[in-house]
Amino acid sequence: DAYRKDRDDGIDLTADYTFEEWADIWFDHHKETISEVTQESYKYTLRNLKEHFKGRKLRNIKSMDIESFLRKLQKEGRADSTVSQHRGMLFQIFNKAEANDVLRKNPVRCAEKMRSSKEKKRKESFTAEEVILLMKNLPTDRIGLSIRLMLSTGMRGQEMLGLRKRNVAADGSEIHIVEAVKQVKGTVLVG
């Protein structure tokens, strides 16, 4: 009955992919829509997912399997952002399988969300007094002026390095951040 229902609902019963096979298909289609830097990050996450679900049929991976994997990452002490990245990629992979009638439903959609396992660290930042002290005592050379610019705008170092003359208004009243320095496989790029 389940077979007939799947067939009648348009599920492609001949597409019996392993997780690794479908993940590779998904990534080949998806990588055209993301930058080279993001592709490198995705490759790392994808490698972890493929290692964990190695040899498993896509159809046999259930919500509880997803939850167990994410809890394993938490127990290993992985950052909440890492756990979230893995869940997000799993969602995309299974969502594409569902959209292409390879699966009836996306098991990640039903998986419990992982609660943060750690106390939130307060982001470190300069106090108002420290900023005043820095602004007063930094040298007026290229480094000192760059630090002042980052302090007063919130600009990141990579964004500052990507600035060009055309990004700054003639009177200095506006700065348009349109590029930043990135590193892809050890090569520095502006993009």
Q: What is the pTM of this model?
A: 0.66
Orientation angle between helical segments 19-30 and 36-52, nearest 10 degrees: 170
Q: How far apart are CA 122 and CA 140, in angstroms?
A: 31
Q: Are 152 and 138 in contact (CB under 8 A)?
A: no
Residue 30: Cβ-neighbour burial (10 angstroms; 0-12, 13-18, 19+): middle
Q: Are 82 and 48 in contact (CB under 8 A)?
A: no
Each of the 191 residues of the chain gets a pLDDT tens digit; together they read 665 666 556 555 566 889 999 999 999 999 888 888 888 889 999 999 999 999 999 989 999 999 999 999 999 989 888 999 999 999 999 999 988 888 888 999 988 887 775 666 677 888 889 999 999 999 999 999 999 999 989 899 999 998 999 999 999 899 999 988 887 777 888 87
